[in-house]
């Protein structure tokens, strides 16, 4: 076994969900040294399209939650910008789904943004990808809606943490209203203009759980672990669904034993 390959213990967790190969070498032989690159790519492309990677991640999260490895006390939400390689641009527009291939032009050039929620231990729960110039708060509800961990036995899926921590980029009236309606506490500081407006209107200021907010770098450490992998750290894929599958694979590796 080489350094970047999965252990036998990790394979035992996901092997029941892997479809048998149509042709060529066994499914496990994904590294390039095991076979032609076209075989590897075609399988990756097919699994990206049919949701295999998403099902694998959901299965491993379910398995982890069953053994108490998911900490639902706090969920941290943030985003990170990823530089898109020059070869990531140029996908045929006729094949692009709306609103495109999640590549935007920002101060750093062509970029993609990963919007992610992780648990209190820094393990990724859900994410979306957008163009790099998309505002963080516009993806908050979508990221929260994607948090869904099925139970191994009877009962509803787990979707709600006790508290959500995010920075000032997520401070909006909609978000501050959305979380209490779902029974979730918010540790999101208000911007200066919002505080000033409350003072002028003689309204009480929102209380901030500072002890929880000080630990918001948990999500930054999660991003650092994801970016230890070359493919998520720099986007090389032209298609958004392929890059999303790449990030899903990186999240999967963090959950596997």
Least confident of 40-54, 99-113, 178-192, 230-244: 99-113
pLDDT, position 30: 47
d(CA 11, CA 28): 8
In tens, the pLDDT along 131-148 reads: 999 999 999 999 999 999
Q: Dmax of the chain from CA atoms? A: 71
Residue 99, pLDDT score: 60
The percent of residues above 90 in pLDDT, for the chain, comes to 62
- Parse the chain into domains and list their residue ranges: 71-237
Q: Please, what is the average pLDDT of the chain?
A: 87
pLDDT in tens, 8-63: 788 787 877 776 655 554 445 445 566 677 888 888 899 999 999 999 999 999 99
Q: How confident is the model at residue 193 (pLDDT cuts 50, 70, 90)?
A: confident
Q: How far apart are CA 82 and CA 182, in angstroms?
A: 31
Say what percent of the chain tops pLDDT 70: 89
Residue 29: its pLDDT value, please?
A: 44
Residue 118 scores a pLDDT above 90: yes
The answer to whether the pTM exceeds 0.85 is no
Residue 25 is predicted with a pLDDT of 46
What's the pLDDT at 27?
Answer: 46
List the single range of 185-189, 206-210, 217-221 with lowest mean pLDDT. Answer: 206-210
The DSSP secondary structure of 156-210, one letter per residue, reads: PPB---SEEE--GGG--HHHHHHHHHTT-EEE-PPPHHHHHHHHHTTPPPPP--H
Could you please state the CATH topology (level 3) that the domain comprising 71-237 is classified under: Nucleotidyltransferase; domain 5 (3.30.420)
Residue 205 confidence (pLDDT): 72
């Amino acid at each position: 076994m080489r350094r970047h390959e999965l252990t036998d213990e990790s394979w035992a967790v996901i092997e029941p969900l892997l479809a048998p190969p149509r042709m060529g070498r066994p499914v496990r032989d994904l590294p390039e040294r095991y076979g032609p690159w076209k075989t590897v790519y075609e399988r990756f492309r097919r699994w990206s399209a049919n949701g295999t990677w998403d099902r694998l991640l959901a299965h491993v999260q379910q398995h982890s939650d069953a053994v108490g490895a998911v900490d639902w006390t706090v969920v941290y939400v943030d985003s990170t910008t990823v530089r898109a390689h020059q070869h990531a641009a140029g996908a045929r527009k006729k094949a692009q789904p709306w609103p495109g291939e999640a590549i935007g032009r920002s101060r750093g050039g062509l970029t993609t943004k990963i919007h992610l929620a992780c648990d209190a231990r820094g393990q990724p729960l859900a994410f979306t990808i957008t163009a790099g110039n998309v505002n963080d708060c516009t993806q908050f509800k979508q990221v929260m809606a994607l948090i869904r961990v099925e139970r191994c036995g009877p009962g509803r899926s787990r979707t709600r943490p006790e508290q959500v921590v995010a920075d000032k980029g997520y401070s909006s009236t909609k978000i501050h209203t959305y979380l209490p309606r779902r029974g979730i506490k918010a540790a999101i500081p208000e911007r200066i203009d919002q505080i000033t407006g409350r003072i002028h209107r003689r309204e009480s200021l929102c209380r901030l759980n500072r002890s929880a907010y000080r630990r918001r770098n948990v999500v930054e450490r999660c991003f650092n672990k994801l970016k230890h992998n070359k493919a998520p750290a720099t986007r090389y894929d032209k298609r958004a669904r392929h890059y999303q599958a790449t990030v899903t694979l990186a999240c999967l590796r963090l959950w596997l034993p």
